[in-house]
Amino acid sequence: MTAMTARTATTAAAGPKRRRPRIGRALLLLVFAGYFLLPLYTAVDFTLGGSRRNMGHTLSIWTGLIHQDGFTENLMTSLKIAAVTVVLLLVLMVPTMAWLHLRLPRMRRLVEAVCLLPMAIPAVVIANGILGAFKSWPEAITGSWWILVFEYVVLALPFTYRSLDAGLSAIPLATLVEAARSLGASWPATLWRVVVPNIRTAIASAGILGAALALGEFTIAHLLLLDTFPVWTDQAGQQDGEVATTAAMLILFLSWLLLMVVSHLGRSRTAKTPKLQKTQTRTMQSQKPEKVGTGE
Amino acid sequence: MTAVREPAPAGASAGAGSPAPAEAASRFRSPWRRTGSATGSGSGAHSGATHRTRPLDLLGLAPFAVYVAVFLGAPAYAVITAAFQDDSGNATLSNVTAALQDPYRHAFSVSIQLSVISAVLGAVLGLALAVAVSGARRDGFVHRAVTTASGVLAYFGGLPLAFVFLATLGPQGLVTKWLNSAGYNLTQHGFVLWNMAGLVLVYLYFQIPLMLLVIFPALDGLRPQWEEAARNLGASRFQYWLRVGGPLLAPPFLGAVLLLFANAFAAYATAYALSTGSVPLVPIQIGSVMSGNVLAGQQNIGNALGLWMIVVVGLVVVAYALLQRRTARWLR
């Protein structure tokens, strides 16, 4: 996406689209804004006690959340799951993707297809399969949050592949690795001190998206009867709608915060692209500079 | 969270070609063992050998391959094999066929209806919004707000979404109360959040942003020069869209409809939380079978339903990937 920004920014202003009837467009945008903002407004209002008949708005539901049975516990479990998922995801995928780009470019299509597989297999079906596949596995794994970590890494593969692939495609990986190797760095040192810093934006967005996924995932945890924060929220919802809505808004704001960071990372990379292009065209004459900042 | 996630389709293949010469030559010289110096990279002298895949290199993919085989392959395999077994493990087709009879037949028809309606509506509305926004200034507030919001909202399925809408249009919801005091009772007019209309309304909340994410790169890729060229050759605006813009946008648009379909078809959490499991959708049925609501002799009906889900979603995702590849040819 970033690659196009520069090109179209100059032309869009002068383009023929400008003469569109503006009132129609404004009206359309207004309707969409209403559809997307009204539910959020009413949900926030609801968590502030807005639906109670004869009381003003109050923060008591939010502050009372922490005293709810199981709130802290399950929130901690979900945060732990998210953290371990991110670490495992990156430890597995960063070396794999770097290796793929360096040594097995022919396998990229295949690995991409494999990484997209979780899109084709619904989470419900995965949950069902887990029951059948891991019957003989120790309860310590299949009956605990570890199985969730393992499966969330799988669910995160599609966007992790795209993110790391775009990051690795945008740097002169082979040159960098060769330079490091010929200066005597070991392969782990090269990976950690040369490759990782160069694709840190891509790593950050993959990790953050993984964390957001792990924080909010409900289907698998619920069907495997494991307690996480979303599962607790659902159970709370069967007794107290206000508490559940407040907890849901908490998940929402947490993951939105994370996702906003991703979208900010994407933008700041756009801003940095010109600098990157200059150094790269100097070192690698063969490379077309406009292609450097491709994709997200 | 729903299963289908699609951050940016443009990225995957776009960067593939660019660093080729230098990267290819150095791949010949192993970065793994230190052999020779890096000078001479990009000379192209070894071009014949550059793309050979060495068997030993494949070992580098082993951890990834094993991981995916265990945590995705094994569950999928378990579902597929169990779908063809009866309660005591003998081979049978009865579950696979029973999964297409009522009540599951009804579930498939409701699921497919919901997915088609929410995908087509989401795609059309998303395209309209994308076109409206692409006319705005790129660095302006509207454009930035919409792109950021769609990046965030497309990932927003699942449980929180259900509670947000319950607080809005549920029995205790604020909008429900406003309408009540204005003398309009939603339920009496046939609207509840867990019937078709309600579910479509809720699903659009993540379908439209997903559409924006998928279609923005394609819209941005339509270069103004192409329209100018067509206009200079005497084409009207309508002719441009009929002959140039339309045919170019058709594959990504169709692909997006498919992706949205798969997204809605696989979604479980939102519908479950809205209805506490009472809507007859295929994922909900599987969940209910998993919690033990199943007839004797049909222990594996959940696996059979899962198999059919994989077939439907798998075909749709493959078609989507093919259309996406076609788009990637002109989209840079």
**In this structure, how many other beta carbons lie within 10 angstroms of the beta carbon of residue A34?**
11
pLDDT of residue B291: 82
Q: How far is CA B210 from CA B96, B249, B317, in A?
A: 33, 17, 15
The number of folded domains in chain B is 2
Lowest mean pLDDT among A159-163, A175-179, B13-17, B322-326: B13-17
Determine the straight-line distance between the first and last CA of chain B, rounded to whole angstroms: 30
- Is B273 inside a domain boundary? yes
Q: Provide the β-strand partners of residue B85.
A: B91
Of B15, B329, B23, B218, give the one whose Cα is nearest residue A292.
B15
pLDDT of residue B301: 87
Rounded to an integer, the average pLDDT of B124-131 is 91
| Partner residue facing A128 (CB), from B125, B165, B286 | B286
Question: Minimal Cα–Cα distance from A138 to chain B, Å?
Answer: 15
| Partner residue facing B160 (CB), from A17, A166, A249 | A249
Rg (CA), chain A: 23
Contact B220 A4 (CB under 8 A): yes
Instruction: Answer yes or no: do B219 and B276 share one domain.
Output: yes
pLDDT of residue A7: 43
Instruction: Answer yes or no: do B106 and B200 share one domain.
Output: yes
With beta carbons under 8 A apart, name residues in chain A contacting B71: 150-151, 153-154
| Residue percentage of chain B with pLDDT more than 90 | 23
**Smallest CA–CA distance from A146 into chain B, residue:** B71
With beta carbons under 8 A apart, name residues in chain A contacting B8: 1, 162, 166, 295-296
Contact A238 B276 (CB under 8 A): yes
Q: Over its length of 296 residues, how does chain A's per-residue pLDDT go in tens digits? A: 444 444 444 444 444 444 556 788 888 888 999 999 998 898 888 888 776 665 667 777 888 788 888 888 999 999 999 999 999 999 999 999 999 999 888 888 899 999 988 988 999 999 999 988 888 888 778 788 999 999 999 999 999 999 999 999 999 999 999 999 999 999 889 999 999 999 988 998 899 889 988 988 999 999 999 999 999 988 888 888 888 889 888 888 888 888 888 777 766 655 544 444 444 443 333 333 333 333 33
pLDDT of residue B6: 40
CATH number, domain containing residue B317: 1.10.3720.10
pLDDT band of residue B219 (cuts 50, 70, 90) is confident
pLDDT of residue A8: 43
With beta carbons under 8 A apart, name residues in chain B contacting A217: 1, 158
Question: Minimal Cα–Cα distance from A271 to chain B, Å?
Answer: 12
The SS3 of residue A72 is helix
Instruction: Answer yes or no: do B39 and B123 share one domain.
Output: no
pLDDT of residue A173: 92
pLDDT of residue A147: 93
DSSP B53: P
The set of residues, in sequence order, having a beta carbon less than 8 Å from that of B85 and lying 6+ positions away, is: B91, B92, B95, B300
Q: Provide the β-strand partners of residue B91.
A: B85
**Domain A72-291 maps to which CATH number in 1.25.10.10, 3.40.50.300, 1.10.3720.10, 1.50.10.10?**
1.10.3720.10
Instruction: Answer yes or no: do B22 and B106 share one domain.
Output: no
Instruction: Answer yes or no: do B38 and B141 share one domain.
Output: no
**In this structure, how many other beta carbons lie within 10 angstroms of the beta carbon of residue A14?**
10
| Partner residue facing B11 (CB), from A262, A287, A294 | A294
Euclidean distance between CA atoms A37 and A44, whole angstroms = 11
- Is B200 inside a domain boundary? yes
Q: How far is CA B83 from CA A151, A224, A261, B61, in A?
A: 21, 19, 43, 31
Q: Is B311 on the interface with A (CB under 8 A)?
A: no
Q: Which helix (H) or strand (E) holds B185?
A: none
Its domain, for residue B98, covers 93-330
Lowest mean pLDDT among A156-170, A223-237, B70-84, B146-160: B146-160
Instruction: List all residues of chain A from 3 to 42 with a beta carbon under 8 Å from chain B.
Output: 3-5, 7-9, 11-18, 20, 25, 28-29, 32, 35-36, 38-40, 42
With beta carbons under 8 A apart, name residues in chain A contacting B167: 39, 42-43, 45-47, 51, 241, 245
Burial B310-325 (b: 16+ CB within 10 A, else e): bebbbebbebbbebbe
With beta carbons under 8 A apart, name residues in chain B contacting A16: 224, 227-228, 231, 237
Contact B18 A294 (CB under 8 A): yes
- Is B172 inside a domain boundary? yes
ipTM of the complex: 0.79
| Partner residue facing B1 (CB), from A154, A218, A285 | A218
Domain ranges of chain A: 18-58, 72-291
- Mutate one of B5, B46, B47, B177 to test the A interface: name it (highest A CB count within 10 A): B5
Mean predicted lDDT score pLDDT of chain B:
78
Distance of CA B9 to the CA centre of its chain: 11
DSSP A68: S
Of B123, B67, B112, B64, give the one whose Cα is nearest residue B320.
B123
Euclidean distance between CA atoms B311 and B319, whole angstroms = 12
Which has more pLDDT, B293 or A273?
B293
Q: Is A212 on the interface with B (CB under 8 A)?
A: yes
Euclidean distance between CA atoms B198 and B138, whole angstroms = 34
Instruction: Answer yes or no: do B133 and B270 share one domain.
Output: yes
Which has more pLDDT, B175 or A266?
B175
Euclidean distance between CA atoms B328 and A29, whole angstroms = 29
Instruction: Answer yes or no: do B159 and B288 share one domain.
Output: yes
pLDDT of residue A197: 92
Question: Minimal Cα–Cα distance from B75 to chain A, Å?
Answer: 4
For residue B283, count CB atoms less than 10 angstroms from its CB and return exposed for 0-12, middle for 13-18, buried for 19 or more. buried
- Is B108 inside a domain boundary? yes
Contact A234 B273 (CB under 8 A): yes
Euclidean distance between CA atoms A258 and A240, whole angstroms = 28
Contact A178 B26 (CB under 8 A): yes
| Partner residue facing B18 (CB), from A218, A219, A287 | A287
pLDDT band of residue B287 (cuts 50, 70, 90) is confident
pLDDT band of residue B10 (cuts 50, 70, 90) is very low
B294, pLDDT greater than 50: yes
- For the stretch B232-261, pLDDT in tens is 998 888 888 888 888 888 888 999 999 999
Instruction: Answer yes or no: do B48 and B149 share one domain.
Output: no
Q: How far is CA A136 from CA A125, A130, B161, B289, in A?
A: 19, 11, 36, 21
Instruction: Answer yes or no: do B37 and B158 share one domain.
Output: no
Contact by Cβ (8 Å): B108, B308: yes
Number of Cβ pairs closer than 8 Å across A and B?
A: 404
Which has more pLDDT, B52 or B284?
B284
| Partner residue facing B72 (CB), from A51, A103, A154 | A154
Rg (CA), chain B: 25
pLDDT band of residue B117 (cuts 50, 70, 90) is very high
Q: How far is CA B34 from CA A175, A260, B120, in A?
A: 13, 42, 55
pLDDT band of residue B60 (cuts 50, 70, 90) is confident
B119, pLDDT greater than 80: yes
Please, how many CA atoms are within 13 Å of residue A264, restricted to the half-sphere of its CB? 7
Contact by Cβ (8 Å): A252, A233: no
With beta carbons under 8 A apart, name residues in chain B contacting A182: 34, 37-38
